[in-house]
Chains A and B, each alone.
Chain A
Amino acid sequence: MALVELRNVTKIYHLGGEEIRALDGVSLDIQAGEFISIIGPSGSGKSTLMHILGCLDSPTGGTIQLDGVMIQDASPRQLAAIRNRKIGFVFQFFNLLPKLNVLQNVELPMIYSGVSGKERRQRAMKALEAVDLSNRSKHRPSQLSGGQQQRVAIARALVNDPRIIFADEPTGNLDSHTGEAILALFRKLSTEGRTIVLVTHDPEIAAVTPRRIEIRDGKIADKVDERLAGLDRPLPTAPAAATV
């Protein structure tokens, strides 16, 4: 079975009496180990989709199954526990806590899953090694470059060994060179068997992923816009490990 199964998911907002269908009957399967990009212009509903997939939000209708569990009706507390253990987030603006050092930032998810202090430190250091930043563990986020901060954020997303990682415009705030390095890191993680979902509006980034899903007006577009999805470019050499 698929790691994530969306069936007919809708999300409706009410803004000043007006009904906005941010998601309109989205059905989607994501297999374990897939490397996917969700693309679409701003306002298309891709952020809403990511929030629902990432258990930050609940759908108005439809069913979601994540790792064998139906979560559309889960309570906020249950969603928090799922976010903590099964999901890792990487954001455009890194979203590290400025008052904590790098190690403490990476340890943070484990604090909320009740991991003991010693094990926390070990696992955080391991995660930092994976992103090649173990020598910066005592630095504050403000003392790091943007690329380094994003790598810390990735380490934080990895540290609880999640089933799936969501990256929301992870390169949006980085120069192209650093952005490529981050994308290379995602590709590496993908080859290690991680399930990764990139949300972006940038065709160059979408071009990296073997599978692309385009959201348009709250629906999955039947045919991916080739230019938007970066299909007019040649695929990069790094292969996807998992079956598509």
Chain B
Amino acid sequence: MSTPSGKLPNEALQQSSVNVWATVELGLNEIWAHKFRSLLTMLGIILGVSSLVAMSALVKGMEKGAKEALIAIGGLEEVRVEAQDLPIEEQNRKDQAVGITVNDVYALAANAPLVTRLSPEMRVPATISANGKTFRPFFCMGVWPVALEMNQHVIQYGRMFNEIDDEMARSVCVIGTEIRDQLWGSPEETGQDVIPLGRTIYINGLPFTIIGMFEHYESEQARKERELAQLEAQRNGGKKPTGPKRNRGWSGRDGGWVFWIKNATIYMPLNTAWMKFRAGVSRAAANNTGPGPGGATGDPRLSSLQVRIASVDLLGTALQQIRNVLMFTHQGLEDFAFRTQEDWAENINTFVHNARLSGGIIAGISLLVGGIGIMNIMLASISERVREIGIRKSIGATTIDIFVQILVESVVIALLGGLGGLVTSFLLVHLIASFSPTDNAPIITFTAMFVAFGFSALVGVLAGLFPAFKASRLNPIQALRYD
């Protein structure tokens, strides 16, 4: 039977289906046979993946710290209305510029529906003293009780002053923990939580009764550190920790100062501040030559006005409403300005974006270098295995089989490196966190791990393509002759 048809039967055409797992096992054997060389090759990927994950964790930690601080000062819905110098063309009417007054607050409450909360603030530059000690708090101001809600304060001990205290202009105040720490000592120093309720405090020489104290504000990281220190103190049998005292003041660390400011606050009723001190200072007040505080109207001048608007999406509209009302009450004089926290939020986002980008590029480059290392070693490996490839081809391995074999080897190296990199990233993050200047613990995210691992797989494929192509094109006859 002579079949000059030139056609091959199906059996011969049918593609041999090599077990994928067998190929992977082959790759693993090959890697295991050259342990040290494989480890060195993987090192590039390990470093690349771990630096990618660690970088992302650091940025994430900073972002979280910054966002925490942003929320601590009230979030994006808060707008501060402050007095401002008149524009140059209105300077002739300077004497009529009264600044922000309590009258404005009532006008806004009645006429600006997008404003949900109004919190007037009358700032008093104060020196406080008690217990034989003196301290200048960061904020000492007369406010309405609503300030508690506006500025995200929480009373831990005692109570907030109420509308009656305000109406009667009682000499009462609510303090932050930093005030207590400065005057009576912090729990860490004294070993006991001093609750100075009912005690008398002198603000600019005038006696006030403390009726409430806020809780201690701190970033999550600071809280963890403090709890750890407590735990260690207990373990040491109540012995006080030795060594230098921890800096609790203006540490200049990311976001930490926001919490310090919040703790160094003292609130009194608005009317009390007005009656006792007759003053709300503002930025513009210093060079204001107009009538004194309150002016001819006797309308208490405020340092600033905190406003909460209905929604961030309506920020522009709400600001326009407020401007309209104030322009009316201020007789067309724009002696006020708005300060929103959008700038800050934007700064955070820009910073995070930039840090991600630069870190990502660096990590990407080290992954690339790792990939080049893999390609290099795969090329060396196939040139010392020419004979093996020839043997495999002579017993029936197709071009594709060889291609897949080399590619799988490369990918297996990269994936092992990727896994190693994920493990290393945890160590690296701990290492960086131990001497980095940030207070914010790095956060390793699954996304970062997934992306880094995915990139290592991609690098493995890309690095393997050329060597695999080269190996698969070897002529079996020449490969078998090769020594």
Find chain B residues with CB under 8 A from A117 CB: 19, 22
Least CB distance from A108 to B in Å reads: 6
Q: Compute how far the CA of A112 lies from the CA of B476 in the bound complex, rounded to whole angstroms.
A: 16
Chain A residues in 8 Å Cβ range of B153: none
Interface of chain A residues 45 through 100 with chain B (CB within 8 A)? 51, 54, 56-57, 63, 65, 68-71, 73-74, 76-78, 80-85, 89, 91, 95-97, 99
Whether A77 lies near B3 (C-beta < 8 A) is no
A70 surroundings in chain B (CB, below 8 A): 3-7
Against B, the Cβ 8 Å flags (1 = close, 0 = not) of A17-57 are 00000000000000000000000000000000001001011
Q: A99 contacts B12, CB within 8 Å?
A: no
Q: Are A78 and B393 in contact (CB under 8 A)?
A: no
Q: A105 CB to closest chain B CB, in angstroms?
A: 9
Give the residue of B1, B11, B19, B393 whose beta carbon is less than 8 angstroms from that of A80.
Answer: B393
Q: Which of A68, A73, A80, A96 has the most CB of B within 10 A?
A: A80
* Interface residue A109 (Cβ < 8 Å from any Cβ of B): yes
Asked if A82 contacts B1 (CB within 8 A), the reply is: no
Q: B396–A84 contact, CB under 8 A?
A: yes
**Is A16 among interface residues, defined by CB-CB distance under 8 A?**
no
Cα distance A68–B396 in the bound complex, in angstroms = 19
Q: Are B398 and A80 in contact (CB under 8 A)?
A: yes
* Residues of B1-54 whose CB lies within 8 A of A: 1-9, 11-19, 22, 29-30, 33
A-B contact count (CB 8 A): 107
Given contacts A78-B13, A113-B16, contact A84 B395 (CB under 8 A): yes
B387-A95 in contact (CB<8A): yes
- A95 vs B291: C-alpha distance when bound (angstroms): 106
The answer, yes or no, to whether A156 is at the interface (CB within 8 Å) is yes
Contact A83–B6 (Cβ < 8 Å): no
Residue of A nearest to B393 (CB): A80
List residues of A whose CB falls within 8 A of some B CB. 1, 5, 51, 54, 56-57, 63, 65, 68-71, 73-74, 76-78, 80-85, 89, 91, 95-97, 99, 108-109, 111-114, 117, 156, 160
Per CB-CB distance, the 5 closest pairs between chain A and chain B, nearest first, are A84-B396, A114-B17, A80-B398, A112-B396, A109-B395
With A95-B387, A114-B16 already in contact, the answer to whether A81 and B5 are too (CB < 8 A) is: no
CA distance A112 to B393 in the complex (A): 10
A-chain residues with CB within 8 Å of residue B357 when the two chains form the complex = none
In the assembled complex, 8 residue pairs joining A and B whose CB atoms fall closer than 8 Å, in A order, are: A51-B477, A54-B394, A80-B397, A81-B15, A84-B395, A109-B396, A112-B396, A112-B401
Cross-chain contact A83 with B396 (CB below 8 angstroms): yes
Q: Which residue of chain B has the shortest Cβ distance to A98 in the bound complex? A: B388
Kindly provide the distance from the CB of B83 to the nearest chain A CB, expressed in whole angstroms. Answer: 83
User: In the complex the two chains form, is B12's CB within 8 Å of A82's CB?
Assistant: yes
**Are A76 and B5 interface neighbours, CB within 8 A?**
no
- The A contact surface, by secondary structure, is mixed
Would B401 and A78 count as touching, CB distance under 8 A? no
Q: Does B451 interact with chain A (Cβ within 8 Å)?
A: no
Query: Which residues, 393 to 447 on B, are CB-close (under 8 Å) to A?
Result: 393-401
Residue of B nearest to A166 (CB): B394
Closest to A51 in B: B477
Considering the chains assembled together, what is the distance between the CA atoms of A113 and B11 in angstroms?
11
Residue B480, interface by CB 8 Å: yes
B34 to A: closest C-beta gap in Å = 10
Known contacts A78-B12, A84-B396, A113-B396; is-contact A56 B477 (Cβ 8 Å): yes
Extra A-B contacts (20), CB below 8 Å, given A5-B2, A83-B395: A51-B477, A65-B2, A68-B9, A70-B7, A73-B6, A74-B8, A74-B12, A80-B397, A81-B12, A84-B16, A85-B12, A91-B480, A95-B391, A96-B391, A99-B33, A109-B395, A112-B16, A113-B16, A114-B18, A117-B19
Q: What separation, in Å, do the CA atoms of A96 and B480 have in the docked complex?
A: 11
Collect the chain A residues with CB atoms within 8 Å of residue B12's CB: 69, 74, 78, 81-82, 85
Q: How far is the CB of B187 from chain A (nearest CB, A)?
A: 67
Give A56 to B16 CA distance when docked, in angstroms. Answer: 17
Asked if A85 contacts B396 (CB within 8 A), the reply is yes
Interface string of B446-483 (1 = CB under 8 A from A): 00000000000000000000000000000011001000
Please name all residues of chain A whose beta carbon is closer than 8 Å to the beta carbon of B393 when the two chains form the complex.
Answer: 56, 80, 83
User: Do the beta carbons of B9 and A69 come within 8 Å of each other?
Assistant: yes
Residues in A with CB closer than 8 Å to B387 are: 95
C-alpha spacing A8/B3, complex, angstroms = 17
Whether the Cβ atoms of B398 and A112 lie closer than 8 Å is: yes
Residues on A with C-beta less than 8 A from B397 are: 80, 84, 112
Contacts of A77 in B (CB 8 A): 15, 398-400
State A89–B477 Cα separation when bound (angstroms).
Answer: 12
- Is B67 interfacial (CB 8 A cutoff)? no
In the complex, are the beta carbons of A80 and B396 less than 8 A apart? yes
Interface contact B392-A81, CB-CB below 8 Å: no
Contacts of B398 on A, CB cut-off 8 Å?
A: 76-77, 80-81, 112
Q: Are A99 and B396 in contact (CB under 8 A)?
A: no
Chain B neighbourhood of A95, CB < 8 A: 387, 390-391, 394, 480
A65–B8 alpha-carbon span in the complex (Å): 11
Q: Is the CB of B1 within 8 A of A81?
A: no
User: Which single residue of chain B is at the shortest CB-CB distance from A71?
Assistant: B8
From residue B10, how far is it (CB to closest CB) to chain A in Å? 10
Q: Is the CB of A1 within 8 A of B18?
A: no
Distance in Å from the Cβ of B417 to the closest Cβ of chain A? 22
Residues of B within 8 A of A156 (CB): 395
Please, how many angstroms separate the alpha-carbon atoms of A80 and B389 in the complex? 13
Given contacts A80-B397, A81-B16, contact A57 B3 (CB under 8 A): no
A56 touches B396 (CB 8 A): no
For A95, the closest partner residue in chain B by CB is B391
Residue in A1, A84, A97, A160 whose CB lies within 8 Å of B1: A1
Q: How far is the CA of A109 from the CA of B9 in the complex (A)?
A: 20
Given A70-B6, A97-B388, check contact A85 B11 (CB 8 Å).
Answer: yes
Contacts of B480 in A (CB 8 A): 91, 95
| A residues near B13, Cβ cutoff 8 Å | 78, 81
Docked pose: A113 CA to B19 CA in angstroms = 10
- Which residues of B in the span 137-188 have a Cβ within 8 Å of any Cβ on A? none
> Among B1, B19, B392, which residue has its beta carbon within 8 angstroms of that of A114?
B19
With A69-B12, A74-B8, A112-B16 given, is the CB distance from A56 to B395 under 8 Å?
Answer: no
Hey, which chain A residues are within 8 Å of B29, CB to CB?
A: 99
Contacts of A97 in B (CB 8 A): 388, 391-392
Q: Give the CA-CA distance A63 to B17 in the complex, in Å.
A: 29
Contact A81 B19 (CB under 8 A): no
Nearest CB of chain A from residue B465's CB, rounded to whole Å: 19
Q: Which residue of B lies closest to A47 (CB)?
A: B477
Given contacts A77-B15, A80-B398, contact A108 B33 (CB under 8 A): no
